Structure 1
Amino acid sequence: MAHEDDSKALDHQPSAGLAVEVSDPARNPGLPPHRARMTDKDPKAEKAAERTVYTLYYLSLAGSIWAVAAYMLFPIESGRLIDVRHNNLYIGLGIALALLAIGIGAIHWSKALMSDREFIEDRHSTRGKDSTREAAVQVFAAANEESGFGRRTMIRNSLIAAVAASIIPGITLFRGLAPHSSEDDPIKGDPVKLLQHTMWKEGEYLASDPEGIRIRAADLTLGSAVHVIPESLATLSHHDGYLEEKAKAIVLLVRLHPEQLIESEERKDWSYKGIVAYSKVCTHVGCPVALYEQQTHHLLCPCHQSQFDITEHAKVIFGPAARPLPQLPITVDDEGYLIARRDFTEPVGPSFWERH
C-alpha cells in the first residue's frame, strides 16, 4: 500500500521539463564585435601592407616578362633536347610566378587593406527603376571606397600591369604553333610543303610503334589495329628531329575482309589483302586518331569526335574534319613483310595548312 501511495503522489507532481523555459532557436544573435586590424590602427602597418601588395604585382609582371624571355632564349624549333626541356621548365616557372603573385597579392589586399566591417543588406525587389540604378551606382562607389582601388594608385596600377602582362606569355606561345623558315631550309617555313613529305618512301618497312619491329602481313588478324612507324625512324635521335618526323609519319594499320573495302580504281593497289594504312593525324586540328571501332570499321578522333570510315578511303562521316585521312600505299616484299609503295600523296595533318 505504501508503494501505491508513493506512485500516486508522483503522478500528481508536475513534470520537471515543463518548468524549464525553452529559448528561441531562431533568435538572431547579431553581429560579433568588430576587431580592428593592425593596419586599421597603425599607419605604418598600412603602408607596409600596401607595399607588399604592389611588390607582389610587380613580381608577377617580372614573371611574365621572364616567361617571354625564356621562350626566346631556349627556342624549341632548334631541335635540341636541352632547349625543349629548358623552354618548358622556365616558361612554366615564369607563368606560375606571374599568376601566383597576382593571387597572393589580391588575397593580402583584401585581408589587410580593404574594409572588413560586416553589414547587413536587406533584400528588396530588383526592378529596373531609377532608384534601383542610383542604388547600384552607390554600391559601386562604396565598393571603390572600401577597397581603396581608386585612391591606392600604386596597387591599382601595378595590378593592371600584372594582369595585362600575364596574358603576354600565352600570346607569345602561339608563335610556336607553326614551323619557322631559315636561310638554310626555306621549306621549313612552309607548313604545306613541310607536311607534304614524311619519312615514308618506296621500300620503307612498316614497323610497330614504339618497338620498331617489322610487321609481316600474315601475322595481322582480322579486325586488328596496329600503330605503325617507319623502320628508319629508329636511326634518328631527338636532336635530329625524331619527334617531329614521328608526328608526321605515324600510321594506323588495320586488317579487314578484302570484300569489305570500297576502293577506287586508282587506289586498288594501295592495300594488301584487306590491309590498309592511314595517317593517324586528324585532318581537323591534328589530334591522334587512334580509336578503332571494330564492328563499324570507324576511326574516332577523341578530341572533337570526327569519325572516318576506313572501308571507303577513311572518308569523313561525322564531325568537323574537312577531308579524309591520307592513305599510305602499301605492299609486301619477298619475305611477306609490309612495305610502303611511296610517301603520302597529300599533306598530312590539319586541313587549314592548305589554305593560302
Structure 2
Amino acid sequence: MSSQENSEENLPAEQGTAHAAAHGGGTAVVQHDEDPFADPGLPAHKPRIQDIDERAAKRSERSVALMFTLSMLATIGFIASFVIFPIDKIVYVWPIGHVSALNLSLGLTLGLALFLIGAGAVHWARTLMSDVEVADDRHPIEAAPEVKAKVLADFADGARESAIGRRKLIRNTMFGALAMVPLSGVVLLRELGPLPEDKLRKTLWAKGKLLINMNTNEPLRPEDVVVGSLTFVKPEGLEESNHDFNNEIAKAAVMIVRIQPEEIKDKRELEWSVDGIVAYSKICTHVGCPISLYEQQTHHVLCPCHQSTFDLSDGARVIFGPAGHPLPQLRIGVNAEGNLEALGDFEEPVGPAFWERG
C-alpha cells in the first residue's frame, strides 16, 4: 500500500471524501446531521437578583409601594388644586409662558397620579412577578373544557406567582392608589357648574314686587289691563342690563290676562286675582318654551313648541298636549299707589316637571 493510500485512510470521513474528489477519486458529498431550521426552543431561564435575594425583593417591594403612595398624594394634590387656585389665576411657566394655574396643577397632579400607578405596576411585574417564559400551542377559537380548566389554572398560578397575597404592602398601596384616582373624576364634576341648590324652585318674585310691563318698562295698573288682552310682565328691579337677566327672566316671566270674574271656574284662581286679572307663569311645563298665544273666547293659551294647551279660566290646567301639570299662578294684589304687585313667589317651581320626580 502506498503512502498516499495510508494518508487517505487516516483522514476523517468528510475530509477523505473531499480529498478523493480533489484527486479525481469521485464527487464530494458533505453530510450534516443537524437541521438548520430546527426550533431552538426557549433560552435557559436566568434568575433575577430578586429571585435569589430576599433583601433585593424587599427593596423592589418598597419601591413599588412608594410609587403607589406618591400616586395617592398626587390625587390629593389634584383635589386640593380646586381649593387653592382660583379659576382666573394666571402664572408664568418657562418655556410655556402664561398659563392657568388651575389647569396646570390639575394636569400635572392627575398625570403624575396615573403615571405612578403604571410605573409601579411595570416595576412590580419586572422585578417580583414570575418572568419564566412559557410557550403554548395555538388552539381553536372555541375552547374545549380542558382548555378552559387550564386557563383557570394558569390564572390561579399567575395570581400566586404575583405574590399579591404575600406582598401585602404592595397590595394595600395599589388598592389605595386605584381607589383614590376615581376621586379626581368626582371632583371634575364641580366644573359642570355650581349646584343649583334651591335656585330652580325660587324666582325673583316676592311680596311687594311691582309688576313691570315688559313693553313700557312701567308699573302695571289694573286699568291698563283690558279683557282679552295678553300682557307680559317682569318683577321690579330686573333690568336687561343685569348680567343674569336671561337666567332670571327664564324663571320669572309672567303673563297677565283679564277674564270676567264670573267666568273663572277655579276658586283659588279667583282669590289670587284682582278684578279678574290673573297672573300665570309663561314658561310651559313641558320643556320650558315661552307661551305667547292666547285665545280670548276660550281663555286658552297655547305653547308654540309642542301645542300644550292650558285653560286660564280653570287654574291653567292642561287640556291638550304633553305638558305634565298646570302653569303656576302668581298671587297678585294692588298697593297703595294703585299698582299691581306680587303677594309672594310661586308656590311651585316653574317650567318642566323636574320637581315632581322627587
Q: TM-score range by the shorter chain?
A: 0.3 to 0.5
Structure with more helix by fraction: 1
Structure 1 length as normaliser, TM-score? 0.45
Higher relative contact order, chain-length normalized (CA < 8 Å, sep 6+): 1
Which structure is larger by alpha-carbon Rg, 1 or 2? 2
Structure 2 length as normaliser, TM-score? 0.45
